[in-house]
Structure 1
């Protein structure tokens, strides 16, 4: 196994740990999108699943959130960037992803069934959409969850290691284009 393949395997292993380990630095990622008006926007998302074979990450969202509009306004090219930072390793990952937002079906209902009894369920039961004013909020919650699942398939991955002894950078995905890059 060459050095780039070993590095990719280690990165995939860290992603697998991140989705299952609370407190892992990569469990939360910055998702950067572009609004329908062409304005950049970024927010933190919690990574919930990683499928190495499909190279797909999963996170949840309120179906009414602006990020959903951003991810859907270019339906044929729903691309975004996920940025992750691991201070212990000094590693940054920048992943260009193609996203698909799912609002119903087994992918949603099975995940909602696991989540609905947890405190996190309240994030998807609010009568107000994310970003709306709390002024005049009624105490009643939503009768149906505003829960959606986002699948983010990795199209390109740029790895950067910041180290006092010298920075290193590599393109790890797609595998056929893996290469060391100038930091």
Structure 2
């Protein structure tokens, strides 16, 4: 039996509530969305990322990356991105259109680095090799000492539109929403 239908304001609230829950919850289905960008060669690129921050009031999401990652050049050349989230538990899919800004240094990056510099994740941003660099052998991925300075970059995603899809036996529902507008769509 399907759950009672939520109203537009309840759906909007629940979307952001779930996004905010996904940040600290390693098991939340929305913690690892797929980020789609336009490659510098013009080909579409997609990869799984980790959601690090969600702010409903500002309609902003954050992810982290190594500043030498190919996605940084992609975002600087073409900052329009899409993220796809799926929740089996909710039977909801989100397709999020956003504008990306890469922050490589400054107080925000310093604050993030201060939080993660002593964690296991710090090694992701200390490697002497850039992400995707060629290696002689698979074992080389674990070998080598970390470089000196970190290469952490913060990617801020200003959400422009969310395409929400709910799958239900009683009938699918779909809507697109911005900060000021709600439009029901054909599923």
Could you say which residue in structure 1 is the equivalent of 2:160? 155
Q: CA deviation at 1:135?
A: 1.7
Give the 3-state SS of the residue equivalent to 1:163 in structure 2.
coil
Distance 1:65 1:139 in 2: 19
Q: Deviation string for 1:103-131 (max 9, x for gaps)?
A: 00001000001001110111111111111
Alignment partner, residue 8 of structure 1: 12
TM-score, normalised on structure 1?
0.93
Distance 1:13 1:175 in 2: 18
Aligned to 1:124: 125
1:165 matched to 2:166: no
Residue 61 of structure 2 is aligned to residue 63 of structure 1: no
For structure 2, the 5+ residue unaligned runs are 1-5
Name the residue aligned to 1:26: 30
What SS does the aligned partner of 1:109 have? helix
Residue 156 (structure 1) shift: 0.6
Decide which structure has greater strand share. 1
Give the equivalent residue in structure 1 for 2:96.
95
Aligned to 2:3: none
2:83 counterpart of 1:82: yes
1:145 pairs with one of 150, 155, 160:
150
Please list the CA deviations of residues 38-80 of structure 1 after superposition, one character each: whole Å capped at 9, or x if unmatched: 1000001100111111100011000011110110013xxx110
Unaligned 5+ runs, structure 1: none
Q: Could you tell me whether the CA contact under 8 Å between 1:97 and 1:153 is conserved in 2?
A: yes
Root-mean-square deviation (CA), in Å? Answer: 1.4
Report which stretch shifted further, 18-27 or 103-112: 18-27
Q: How many residues align?
A: 178
Query: Is the contact made by 1:157 and 1:174 (CA closer than 8 Å) also made in structure 2?
Result: no
Kept after mapping to 2: 8 A contact 1:161/1:167:
yes
